[in-house]
Structure 1
């Protein structure tokens, strides 16, 4: 006598694990975006975010079988606008290609470029104490106009083109150079503003107070439309995708990185030290 296949009611299978005949709950891959956004890397101290460090985990996350959504865990004070633009475009490309929603979660800081990347998500969440925003552009440098003379050193610089040596730290500031830099900053600021407006329906160009470079704690950011809600990654995922597994994807790491060492050679050590100093300065602006 042939055995009839056993079929359980949907109300039952929906509550059982997949191994016992229940519905598959799926997975939410998490991509960690932590550190200053810059090409290359520091090698020492906090990590750096760029195309090389994030591409692999992004691709793994969006191609994960059974992915219900991809979560971006962001903790960044910002950095290179070019890297931000590239990474944000890549996130949207993968999301559209694989038809997977993207959720961004702001940890300690999602400021400047960190918020630029958060806006690549379909929804943004933060904790009440997260610092969010800083939609602006900043450039910094030093002037050493008297240093070489005090050391008895004569500097020789030869250029072809009047604008080839803009913002030279060893000569007094040139008003034309400052005007040029201000124009560049204004252009980048406009790109940032337009990106935020395009990605955040509640924000318009009339909300000029949002584009001053200021930043806010989570609840105020929510009130102003910068984020969609207050909540942690696991709490929001559990609410939106009950039973889904949270799986963190990581970048490929070199042998030196796995051993906690800077890149090989003296040049690598020097570059690591300088990079770490820049990283420390970027975080210090937000008290972190």
Structure 2
């Protein structure tokens, strides 16, 4: 009996020792796990902190740098890159304020508008053209020169025509004075596939330019009349801007485009030059200050991940039937 009690006591003692060991092991593992989590969170917050510092430095770096002395004599520069659209460097929303600042600055003695564009919206191009004409009248002592590098076609040339002079490279692409509207018609394919279009409208022409409905001769004539009217507006702007320098031919307003050397011969451009050569030799102010309106980081992020996705989709859907200077 005593021996049995002794065995039971030894067994209980072993169980207690085993329990203590297991408890210590669990505590040790829990402590290690907690330390790992703390290290991970520490690294995460360090990255967040570094990102915030870099973001703040990017956004507000201008506050830590002395402002450029734009009161000193200089050539003002504004750039248009890409299509003439409602958004971006070719939009009236961005270009007009930049031109206003360039002309208004006391230190600017002349303005260069650098254009690399295949064309785009006649509305946006017309708004910028009108503003250039207004600014030239308001600041008669400041000249505006367009410098073309790769391309200044259609809507881009619509804008350029308002300049005092146009400078090109001999291989630049210049011209394309015309208007187009494009789209697709699927009525034949739908008929073959047995697909019926069920479009209901109030107004006989409300479905005008619908790609899934046939277009009538009356609608074609109406669309062509609109194209001709916008084309004539383009022609009038070019004639007014270029004046007697323009050597008119039957093809000059046909929508064709030419290399820079031919454009100079035809009076579509005035001479050869670059931003630096025009600033140095024509404006006589080698120091160049860029007034182009730039997008900041939040705007780029929002456009990339937010509203721009929807607007791009809408632009794709609504592109059929729109008028463009291309």
Can you give the 5+ residue segments of structure 2 that lack an aligned partner in the other structure? 1-70, 320-324
**Offset at 1:55?**
2.2
The answer as to 2:319 corresponding to 1:272 is no
The answer as to 2:159 corresponding to 1:117 is yes
Are the equivalent residues in 2 in contact too, given 1:103–1:121 (CA < 8 A)? yes
Q: How does 1:200-239 map to 2 (within 5 A)?
A: 200-202=242-244, 206-239=248-281
Name the one with the larger helix percent: 2
Are the equivalent residues in 2 in contact too, given 1:197–1:203 (CA < 8 A)? no
**Offset at 1:131?**
0.2
Decide whether aligned partners of structure 1 residues 204 and 79 sit closer, same or farther in structure 2, where only a CA change above 3 A counts.
Answer: same
- What secondary structure, in the 3-state scheme, does the structure 2 residue paired with 1:69 have? strand
Q: How does 1:236-247 map to 2 (within 5 A)?
A: 236-247=278-289
**Of 32, 44, 67, which aligns to 2:79?**
32
Match of 2:63 in 1: none
Match of 1:68 in 2: 109
Decide whether aligned partners of structure 1 residues 186 and 58 sit closer, same or farther in structure 2, where only a CA change above 3 A counts.
Answer: same
**Offset at 1:203?**
5.0
Q: How many residues align?
A: 250
Can you give the 5+ residue segments of structure 1 that lack an aligned partner in the other structure? 1-23, 42-46, 280-284
Are the equivalent residues in 2 in contact too, given 1:36–1:78 (CA < 8 A)? yes
Greater Rg over alpha carbons, structure: 2
**Offset at 1:28?**
1.0
Decide whether aligned partners of structure 1 residues 261 and 123 sit closer, same or farther in structure 2, where only a CA change above 3 A counts.
Answer: same
Are the equivalent residues in 2 in contact too, given 1:25–1:242 (CA < 8 A)? no
Are the equivalent residues in 1 in contact too, given 2:145–2:165 (CA < 8 A)? yes
| Cα distance between partner residues in 2 of 1:195 and 1:157 | 40
Are the equivalent residues in 1 in contact too, given 2:176–2:256 (CA < 8 A)? yes
Match of 1:5 in 2: none
- What secondary structure, in the 3-state scheme, does the structure 2 residue paired with 1:198 have? helix
| Cα distance between partner residues in 1 of 2:316 and 2:115 | 19
Q: How does 1:149-160 map to 2 (within 5 A)?
A: 155-160=197-202
Are the equivalent residues in 1 in contact too, given 2:89–2:95 (CA < 8 A)? no
Are the equivalent residues in 2 in contact too, given 1:26–1:244 (CA < 8 A)? no
**Offset at 1:256?**
3.7
Decide whether aligned partners of structure 1 residues 232 and 277 sit closer, same or farther in structure 2, where only a CA change above 3 A counts.
Answer: farther
- What secondary structure, in the 3-state scheme, does the structure 2 residue paired with 1:209 have? coil
Match of 2:221 in 1: 179
Per the normalisation by structure 2, the TM-score is 0.69
Q: Which deviates more from structure 2 when the two are superposed, residues 219-228 or residues 84-93?
A: 84-93
Match of 1:189 in 2: 231
| Cα distance between partner residues in 1 of 2:84 and 2:233 | 17
